Amino acid sequence: MKETIEKYQIYIYFVTILIAALLTFVVPGTTKLEYLINPTLAFMLFVTFLQVPLIELKNTFSNGKFIFILFLTNFVFIPILVWVLIQIMPLDPLVKLGIVFVLVTPCIDYVVTFAHLGRANAPLLLATTPILLIAQIVLLPIYLNLFFGNDAAKLVHLRPFLDAFIWLIVVPLTFAGILQLASKKSVYVTQISNTLSLLPVPATSLVLFIVIIAVLPQIGPAIDTVYKIIPIYIVYAIAAPLIGWYLSSLFHLDVPSKRAIAFSAGTRNSLVILPLAMAVPNALPVIPAVVITQTLIELFSELFYVWGIAKLGSGEQF
């Protein structure tokens, strides 16, 4: 059954997104469901972490080459790509600020789930989340300073990053680790674990549904801005994973690790950045719309990543 669910996962996700999008037009007040995003994300990550042999995580820190390429991709080449993209169109400085906020910060949560579904090395990505978190907290003010000047660098606050790391990484990871250890000693717990192993795709569908239905209506007040930035996000969604794949190929990483780099390059920290972006003076409604639009484009992109990146290096035809 698990194989069947994963075989048809792209169709499941697409139908889920379509239904959620349609509901936003016929059901009023769906933005009230935004409070469900983090709990459903945490559950999705929990069932994903159960599929990852956590006991092997300690071995991933010895993979210095992977960590180096992950940093080179996310914190050198991706910011360069972002700088180029915001020069392409004449955009308001506030819009550019929102784009930079969201595109220079790599995802530390659901990227692990999509990487797992896309046959990438999810344990490697999971093990590097603390490092990615610390690096983006340190480097985001530097990027903002380089792009916009000293005043922009002061807009970065620590709290959203730490909240996301604790509730979306540490807590689900801890529960998954406890269940993995307990399943070695109890047949009953093993059965529970086996049942939960069926849930990564349904849980991901639930996250997609909640995010779409809660955030799609929020872009309405800044729809003119949204139309301008969609091409930028589409170009990013195509270029970023290719940059990650190319760099990791130059350093001769194995195929699952290349896929992990590609997923990391293409997946951003938008759900963590959103509260940070909303704290910017005069942010409403522009900056939240800029961030939310990236989230929506990214979710569609992840469907193609799970299908396309999984084929990279496998010899399969597109």
Q: Which pLDDT score, from 0 to 100, does residue 318 have?
A: 42
Q: Crossing angle of helices 64-72/122-148, nearest 10°? A: 30
Q: Which pLDDT score, from 0 to 100, does residue 272 have?
A: 82
Q: What is this structure's pTM?
A: 0.85
Q: What length is written for the chain?
A: 318
Q: Which pLDDT score, from 0 to 100, does residue 28 have?
A: 92
- The whole-angstrom separation of Cα 63 and Cα 254 is 12
Cα atoms in the Cβ-side hemisphere of radius 13 Å centred on 121:
23
Q: Report whether 112 contacts 207 (CB < 8 A).
A: no
Q: Report whether 35 contacts 211 (CB < 8 A).
A: no
Q: Which pLDDT score, from 0 to 100, does residue 52 have?
A: 76
> Dihedrals φ, ψ of 166, to 5°?
-70, -50
SS3 312: coil
Give all domains of the chain, ordered by start, each with its CATH number.
Answer: 1-311 (1.20.1530.20)
Contacting residues for 256 by C-beta, under 8 A, at least 6 apart: 119, 120, 121
> Dihedrals φ, ψ of 37, to 5°?
-60, -55
What per-residue string of b and e applies to 13-24 under the rule 16 or more CB within 10 Å gives b? beebbeebeeeb
Side chain identity at residue 77, one-letter code: F
Query: DSSP letter at 55?
Result: G
- The whole-angstrom separation of Cα 18 and Cα 260 is 27
Q: Which pLDDT score, from 0 to 100, does residue 164 have?
A: 86
Write out residues in the chain with pLDDT < 50, as ranges.
318
